[in-house]
Structure 1
Amino acid sequence: MLTTNIIILILGFIGLVISADKFVYGAAGLARNLGISPLVIGLTIVAMGSSAPEMMVAVSASLNGSPNTAIGNAIGSNITNITLVLGITALIKPLLVGSTTIRREIPMVLITTLLAGVVLWDLKLEMYEGVILLLLFFITILTLTILALKRPSNDPLTQEHDDEVPEGVPTRTAVAWLVFGIIALPVSSHFLVGSAVVIAQHFGMSDLVIGLTIIAVGTSLPELAASISGVLKGEDDLVIGNIIGSNIFNILAVLSLPGILAPGMIDPAIISRDFYYMLGATVLMLVMAMGFRGRPGRITRVEGGILLAGFFVYQFIVFSSI
């Protein structure tokens, strides 16, 4: 029984990663064929696609009566994106933040992180709070798009988005992959969450812990793959931008879903432990990436090592609480 569920968990992760990738590929290819700017596609479809695994897991977990798994996945994914994904990426190659737009948008991550603390502080996630977060999600997409369209034409992020958005994809192929992603994403997440709950119960882990750790790492695999690929191509700003976008969307879109679908009390550890770790990681990324006194933001290998060490420290803290 346990072995079967571990196999289902692994296959669920694989299916989630592949379906999310094909969903983004199909949607971005179709949007480009319809004449939408690559920059806008990158900031909307591609950015939302990187959070698609977390969103599907949040829906499945909430509908299965495990909202703490959904909340843990949102918070755990943000911690994982900063400490594991950004840490490994900076170890491969130091990241230079050359885009003025990125440095202007980084504080938005801090604002949304603090907003998560406000929403969860009373140890309840209400339906109206979920609705507010979802509305802020759409407002944020609109704001980021407007800011992007106003950015200088020589901003490095503009060219990096143009290079990454697929071009020349036949419309029929794009639609096929889009439909495949729409079907495969919820199916993969359903089996992933179901098997994860069984495994967690077998080892005496709470719904929250499984969401913060195993599921969070699994749903962050697309960000890790994209970041490693991006840094090897020299697309440093795109790497930082994807992580910023994913973390903002995880708070506003992913966290909104358990509030709407399964409102109620939350695990106290979310506020007493996990929120503060997420906030600390976010502030650390902000300090590293912003740059001060005219110095461009730069995340060095040493700083990447610090971030990666923070990931393992957090895993130890969480598993020690079991």
Structure 2
Amino acid sequence: MGLHIVTPLLASTAFPARPGARVWLKMEALQPSGSFKLRGIGHACEVHAARGARRIVASSGGNAGLAAAYAGRRLGLPTLVVVPETTSARARSLLAREGAEVRVHGLSFQEANAHAHGVLGAQDAFVHPFDDPLLWEGHAGMIDEVAQAGVRPDAVVLAVGGGGLLSGVVAGLRRQGWNAVPVFAVETVGADSYAQSLAAGERIELPAIASIATSLGARKVSEHAFGLARTHPVTPFVVGDGEAVAACLRFMDDHRVVVEPACGAALALAYRQDGPLAAFSNVLVIVCGGATATVAQLQAWDAQLR
């Protein structure tokens, strides 16, 4: 039994679809840590604990850090989460609430990450936010659950940051023999390192993240995620911050669940009347979640971006 829960798979009528078509929502926002990250990070932490790790170290002020903190608490292991100075007070509070030691270092994730590596001891396990096969193996379980529910999607929609969710979902699709099922990988303008990399034919590093969807804020996607587009039908898609936030608010009204703009990016594509999903009959949307957004913040962003 893993640290994550089996999340609901909902058939939603809130999204535009042609007659006879269905949109399915894999509700990863309902994981105990607030996002899908708990699947992979929980799995990695369990593996490290079984190998004798005595402390978990992570470098994320967002959902990866929260998943590591939750997993550490459940496993009875102390957890250190190193965050940059830009990490919100809410995120720091949520990390502390899970019992993690929160250390603030540097102006960017890169500096916080370097510090986390610098303090690793012999019995510490470092948990990467997205670039680790253990994470992909854990994330793949959500597709197993979709198959167990008797649903076979003909398209999958998900958000891309560093590529951990994409890597896990493709691994899950392959495990089910669904190698031809296309994946729509959605980012926001200003955090679109994946789309830019595929267009350039090489991994592009963004000079900075210029999007409010900070959970998509990997300036460079993992090599594994980049390579997947050569072996699996992956289509990148980019939406604006305003459309992502509007999708969050609409989803909150439709399904009474609050998600971050990073998740809103995927929802935005699903809400489009005339988008590329209109051709499919069984669309699976990964509602990846996000624990740091509040209703007030979403409403403020919406007013600002209109």
TM-score range, shorter chain: under 0.3
Higher helix share: 1
Would you tell me which structure has more strand in proportion to its own residues?
Answer: 2
Task: Compute the TM-score of the two structures, normalised by the length of structure 1.
Answer: 0.24
Bigger relative contact order, structure 1 or 2 (CA pairs below 8 A, ≥6 apart): 1
TM-score scaled to structure 2, two decimals? 0.25
